[in-house]
Amino acid sequence: MQVEYRSTKIGLGLGNLVFDRGVYDPQGNNTGGGAMQAAGITAGAVGLAGDIGSYSTASFRLTNGAYNGSSFSLRFYGSGWGGGSTAQITTYSLSNLGGGVSFGAGVIGTGLSYYQIANGGAEPMTYVDAGVGTAGIMTSVAGYYTGAQIPYVGEAVMVYGKGRLIWDVGFSWS
Amino acid sequence: MKNIYYLIWVDAILSFKKHNPRNKNWKWIVFFINTWMNALNFWVAFMITKYFTTLSLPLTNFNLFPGHLLDDFLNFTVSFASPFIVLNYFLIFHNDRYEKLIKKYGVQNIKYALIYSMTSTFGAFVVAILHGILTHTI
């Protein structure tokens, strides 16, 4: 017999991801949840990094351009340089990347929450996470379609996500 | 007569490209956003039907991965999003059909995509809260 602890969730900047604290046998031995816990914490950190990245104006490159042989050459541009030049360097916006990551994390988190609600497995915190994730998605979508995010919502969601991340990581390791 | 479904799609594509001209993944992102909104609306219909009637569409219940993180997301995607993934692909992106739709409908004065997205996400949250109150979960 296995007892599965399913209630620990991790809030991300633009949503939330659920991660398992572990799957335990009656003797209390973890029988496989460790990897999921690590994955959850990693997902949380990636989501939070995505949030922070979405507020940056910087850009980055992966290669040194077709003129130089397109070798791998990671470099960040704080000025947000758009690429081009003789070397034909392609740059990527950190804001676009961060926004995409955090939007994706929010979508995954709300999907998990809404499935739990539909399936009858929701807890009070599930609704909070669903609400925060929903608000995050709304501001991300507003950003995509209008070029301007809803004031204060993104920041509020980011603060919530950070608090939840710290609380969840601390709780899972305590 | 204009089709509201196509109006939303055309406005979504044009709005996204207007405000994100350098984003090369616009197809994936717009497809992802609109399909997710469709899924949320389907979820709302599912929840209302489940609460007020005895009819309840069966949910998938895959249990393929350790824990439930990936399983829950997979189940939501298969149960609520998968029909729209197929529908939206064939109605919008197959054979670049969106190009014909953009020519037909053009730029809109009303922000259909934004209104649809905001209504869908906020509506889903309201339904979730109401469901939680009515079922004494919260």
Residue ranges making up the domain that contains B29: 4-134
The answer to whether A145 contacts B15, with C-beta atoms less than 8 Å apart, is yes
Specify the pLDDT at position A172.
57
Specify the pLDDT at position A1.
40
Q: In terms of Cα–Cα distance, which of A155, A164, A117, A163 is closest to A135? A: A155
Side by side, which strands form the sheet with A91-93? A72-77, A59-63, A91-93
Q: Say whether residue A33 is in contact with chain B using an 8 A CB cutoff.
A: yes
Residue A70 Ramachandran class (φ > 0 left, ψ -120 to 50 alpha, else beta): left
Dump the DSSP string for chain B: ---HHHHHHHHHHHHHHHH-TT-TTHHHHHHHHHHHHHHHHHHHHHHHHHHHSS--PPPP----SSSSHHHHHHHHIIIIIHHHHHHHIIIIIGGGHHHHHHHHH---SS-HHHHHHHHHHHHHHHHHHHHHHHTT--
Give the model confidence (pLDDT) of B48-87 as tens digits.
999 888 777 889 999 887 767 678 888 999 999 999 999 9
Specify the pLDDT at position B14.
96
Q: In chain A, pLDDT over 90 holds for what percent of residues?
A: 3
Helix (H) or strand (E) holding A114: helix A94-118
Q: Which two tokens stand for residue B10?
A: 């055309």
The ipTM (two decimal places) reads: 0.90
Average pLDDT score, chain B: 91
Higher pLDDT, B16 or A38: B16
Specify the pLDDT at position B32.
92
The answer to whether A115 contacts B72, with C-beta atoms less than 8 Å apart, is yes
Q: Which of A15-19, A43-47, A98-102 has the lowest mean pLDDT?
A: A15-19
User: How far lies A91's CA from each of A22, A55, A87, in Å?
Assistant: 41, 17, 12
Q: How far is A51 from chain B (nearest CA, A)?
A: 17
φ, ψ of residue B30 in degrees (nearest 5):
-65, -40
In angstroms, how far is CA B4 from the centroid of its own chain?
A: 14
CA nearest A137 in B: which residue? B121
CA dist B23 and B127 (Å) reads 34
Q: How far is B95 from chain A (nearest CA, A)?
A: 24
pLDDT band for position A8 (cuts 50, 70, 90): very low
Highest mean pLDDT among A32-36, A50-54, A135-139, B68-72: A135-139
Q: Say whether residue B4 is in contact with chain A using an 8 A CB cutoff.
A: no
Residue A41 reports pLDDT greater than 50? yes
Q: How many domains does chain B have?
A: 1
Rounded to two decimals, what is the model's pTM?
0.74
Q: Say whether residue A91 is in contact with chain B using an 8 A CB cutoff.
A: no
Q: What is the mean pLDDT of residues A97-116?
A: 74
User: In B, residues 36-55, which contact A (CB 8 Å cutoff)?
Assistant: 36, 39-40, 43, 46-47, 50
- Which residues in chain A are contacts of B111 at CB distance < 8 A? 145-146
Give the single-character DSSP code of A34: H
Specify the pLDDT at position A49.
66
Specify the pLDDT at position A166.
67
Please state whether beta strands A72-77 and A91-93 pair in parallel, antiparallel, or not at all (unpaired): unpaired
Specify the pLDDT at position A63.
85
Average pLDDT score, chain A: 68
